[in-house]
Structure 1
């Protein structure tokens, strides 16, 4: 991988939360497909939305408004650990010169009880940049990315079930 393949990208999405949000789920950085789609977990093979459908027993269409409504109803905030970085395509492994996201707006504007990290890269940057300021240890969950082929959908659902206890649904 040469430096010529790197692009400096600034996070194009606004954090998604309401004042009732109880949990914050952080990814690492939006993929190329997510940036094109214009909302979190926009890659058709990313299993985030499928995991949510199974956990909450709902069918969601691909519409951004539908997904925002789902998050609001279930008191889930979404954003990413990294605000800007140099990256090759969508490869978390290629990330360098990462600058952290400002999570203060979410923390001040919502009632966040726990932070969940979607994958090892998000967890790494959360620990490095956010944990101390937020005072929440954060819970690492397996990545829903299509690159994480080690986990089946059932495996992901079983691991991600932990979020329910923070939403009074467990």
Structure 2
């Protein structure tokens, strides 16, 4: 079986509902949860994913806490979580294995509308940013909804991108804490 046949026969995977409150100032976007996350029904559940370690350093939402408490700490800090992709076909966990013609994006315009204080979208890696630009950059619909919206790609927290040291990733991810603690524009 060739790579194309493997992807086209892969089961459809679906991302999770967003974790948000209407007072969110920051939205962290992944691409699509990996197998470990889908199995656990938790964002960033792979034990070697650095996301929760970084969130622990930034917001006290570290991996030692129960999942619900980690999410609550992010919400209390003004941070929302979601994925760009609602569903796709993908064998395994790698973003590179996603069948591009199978992608259905999440309703990001709807979430942005529901969060009037939201001013920053942070992409957890290149794949999330690429998927976002593919599905939302045409016509710049989100900029029409929120002209002040700032977009920034951060280094991926995925264990597949382990070449960058944790300290370097954490330094880049400090931008999330700075944006979350900033006062909303008047």
TM over 0.5: yes
- In the alignment, what sits opposite 1:129? 135
> Which residue number in structure 1 is paired with residue 121 of structure 2?
115
Q: Taking structure 1 as the reference length, what is the TM-score of the superposition?
A: 0.90
* Runs of 5+ unmatched residues, structure 2: 144-148
**Following superposition, which runs of at least 4 residues in structure 1 exceed 4 angstroms of deviation?**
57-60
Provide TM-score, normalisation by structure 2: 0.83
Deviations 1:26-74 (A, max 9, x none): 0000100001111211111110010111123554535221122111111
Conservation of the 8 A alpha-carbon contact between 2:62 and 2:70:
no
Once residues 56 and 140 of structure 1 are traced to their aligned partners in structure 2, the CA distance between those partners, rounded to angstroms, is: 19
CA distance in structure 2 between the aligned counterparts of 1:14 and 1:109, rounded to whole angstroms: 14
| Gapped regions of structure 1 (runs ≥ 5) | none
Moved more, 6-15 or 116-125: 6-15
> Alignment RMSD, CA only?
2.0
Residue correspondences, number: 170
Q: Based on CA coordinates, which of the two structures has the bigger radius of gyration?
A: 2
Residue 123 of structure 1, CA deviation: 0.5
Residue 12 of structure 2 is matched in structure 1 by: 9
Q: Matched residues in 2 for 1:35 and 1:105: separation? A: 23
Q: Which residue of 1 aligns with 2:146?
A: none
* Counterparts in 2 of 1:63 and 1:152: CA distance versus 1, 3 Å: same
Q: Quote the Cα distance in structure 2 between the aligned partners of 1:58 and 1:126.
A: 26
